[in-house]
Amino acid sequence: MESVRTDVVVVGLGAFGSAALWRLAQRGVKVVGIERQAIGHPFGSSHGSTRLFRVACMEHPGLTPIAQESLRLWTELGERTGEVYVRQTGSLNVGGPDSHPVAGARKAAAEAGAQTTDLSHDELARRFPQYHLSAHDVAVWDPGAGICYAEPTVRAQVAEAERLGATVFPHTMVTAIDLQPNGVTVRTPTIDIQADQVVVCAGAWLGKLVPGLPLSPRRTPLFWFRPKDPASDAFRLTNFPSFIWEFPDGRGLWGHGSDEDFLVKVGLDGAERARDFDPDELDRYIHPREDIGELAAAVAASFPDLDPEPVKVIPCMVTDSPDGQFLVGRRDERLVIAGGDSGHGFKHCAGVGELLAELTTKETPYTDVSFIDPLRY
Ligand SMILES: Cc1cc2nc3c(=O)[nH]c(=O)nc-3n(C[C@H](O)[C@H](O)[C@H](O)COP(=O)(O)OP(=O)(O)OC[C@H]3O[C@@H](n4cnc5c(N)ncnc54)[C@H](O)[C@@H]3O)c2cc1C
């Protein structure tokens, strides 16, 4: 068995882990990243082309500075690589005045200084005729929001880490993390790695590697639709930017248009889905009635100019925490974790990577992390 010595090991190179690896390598830390699959693979939570990027985060005002940090870091990285990782087209938070998207975005604006604009029902209907609105619907416009590019960003974060000196072992499964008095041994079938600290970012598998965390994997496929009129511009990204829309019954839709493949991404929130399964056993088949029926009905009722039959569906999963906030922080002197993405982690991953690097190197975090501290449970 080969054995290697390093300062820090990052386990899992999806969204959070690839960012942690990058930000640690940026500081000159001797760091090794281990990923069970290929880099940018479709078996975790970070695949598919895009994710919604929001600044006025309805989930918690404390997330606004983390999204802003992701934007700063991705902009810097894009200036170096010539790639675009975020496209800021603005975004709509739609629902009744007290709905989570509308009230949550207003709270982020009030408490975290996110710039937003309120849209009345009539303004919303005039500017966005694609929506079949209910009488109570209003919106908050988040001008700094848009979409971010998922798989290309994971690959770019890993590539940048390697350029800065990180060592990466893809196709290597961590089988055990042994915490010892003076460090940690990360075990795989082919190599043991000794380090001072380990940062575990194993997504839906985090609970398997670090027992005792209140995490619940949830099956959440990704869906794409086509406009009924293929010549229509109504669902191009600039005309149909990203949105979150809550219905009076608590369910809701989210998604965005596209300039690239002209497919419109739409997902359903609040539908009952498989949860608490072993992520190695994720059901990767699509079931027309259970997976598509309710979403297709919601799309037909909400966007009459979209064909409600999806043209592409990809299985995926998120990992929920009890309060819907991440678990990012130190578990003990040798162990830092990031997970519990609760379905809204991608936009924050570069900012979370920066926090993980700060926590590992004992720098002062650039923002308050108490609301995502894993020790809150
Ligand atoms: C349908 C859907 C829509 C979403 N929409 C949005 C959105 O619009 N905006 C947004 O911000 N977020 C969104 N998200 C959430 C976002 O995609 C996730 O928060 C993010 O991808 C989570 O990243 P992660 O690093 O925690 O997990 P992952 O990317 O899954 O990374 C974990 C990695 O650990 C590896 N691993 C696990 N076990 C081991 C082991 N033993 N050894 C080595 N490696 C291991 C895995 O292979 C994997 O690569 C969405 C998610 C889904 C599923």
For residues 342 and 1, which has the higher predicted lDDT (pLDDT)? 342
Q: Specify the 3-state DSSP secondary structure of 353.
A: helix
Distance 261 CA to ligand 1 centre (A): 23
Tokens 């710039």, located at residue: 115
For ligand 1, atom 15, the nearest C-alpha belongs to 343
Predicted local distance difference test score (pLDDT) of residue 307: 98
pLDDT for 261 equals 85
| pLDDT band at 270; cut points 50, 70, 90 | confident
Q: Ligand 1 center to residue 344 CA distance, Å?
A: 10
User: Which atom of ligand 1 is found nearest the CA of 254?
Assistant: 8
pLDDT at 332: 93
Distances, alpha carbon 90 to alpha carbons 64, 68, 114, 131, 223, in Å: 15, 14, 12, 16, 21
Looking at the chain, the whole-number percentage of residues with pLDDT higher than 90 is 95
> How confident is the model over 302-341, as pLDDT tens digits?
999 999 999 999 999 999 999 999 999 999 999 999 999 9
* 289: DSSP letter: I
pTM value surpassing 0.95 = yes
Does 377 or 38 have the greater pLDDT score?
A: 38
**Ligand 1: which of 9, 187, 318 to mutate, judged by most atoms within 8 Å of the beta carbon?**
318
**What average pLDDT does the structure give for the chain?**
96
More confident residue, 22 or 271: 22
Decide if pLDDT at 117 tops 70: yes
Distance CA 11, CA 15 (A): 12
Does residue 250 have a pLDDT over 70? yes
Whether the CB-CB separation of 342 and 58 falls below 8 Å is answered with no
* Ligand 1, pocket residues at CB < 6 Å: 11-17, 34-37, 44-46, 51-52, 173-174, 201-203, 205, 209, 220, 222, 267, 316-318, 339, 341, 343-347
Q: Which of 346, 349, 352, 372 to mutate to test the pocket of ligand 1 (most atoms within 8 A of CB)?
A: 346
Per-residue model confidence as pLDDT tens digits over 101-113: 999 999 999 999 9
Residue identifier of the C-alpha nearest atom 24 of ligand 1: 203
Residue 98 backbone phi and psi in degrees, to 5: -100, 5
pLDDT band at 372 (very low <50, low <70, confident <90, very high): very high
Q: Is the pLDDT confidence value at 59 over 90? A: yes
pLDDT tens digits for 40-50? 999 999 999 99
The CA distance from 32 to 230, in Å, is 47
Q: Among 213, 341, 352, 372, which is best to mutate for testing ligand 1, by the most ligand atoms less than 8 A from CB?
A: 341
Domains of the chain: 2-48+151-215+322-376 (3.50.50.60), 91-143+221-315 (3.30.9.10)
pLDDT in the model for residue 260: 83
User: What integer is the mean pLDDT of 298-303?
Assistant: 98
Which ligand 1 atom is at minimum distance from the Cα of 15? 25
How high is the pLDDT of residue 226? Answer: 97
Instruction: Report the nearest atom of ligand 1 relative to the CA of 242.
Output: 8
Name the residue of 51, 154, 356 to mutate for ligand 1: max ligand atoms within 8 A of Cβ. 51
- For residue 272, what pLDDT is reported? 66
Give residue 262 CA to ligand 1 midpoint distance, Å.
Answer: 25
Contacts of 34 (CB under 8 A, 6+ apart): 9, 10, 11, 12, 13, 168, 169, 172, 174, 186, 188, 193
DSSP string, 317-349: EEEE-TTS--EEEEEETTEEEEE--TT--GGGH
Token pair of 368, please?
């308050």
**pLDDT value, residue 151:** 97
Helix H or strand E encompassing 354: helix 349-360
Cα-to-centroid distance, 175 and ligand 1 (Å): 19
Which residue's CA lies nearest to atom 27 of ligand 1?
203
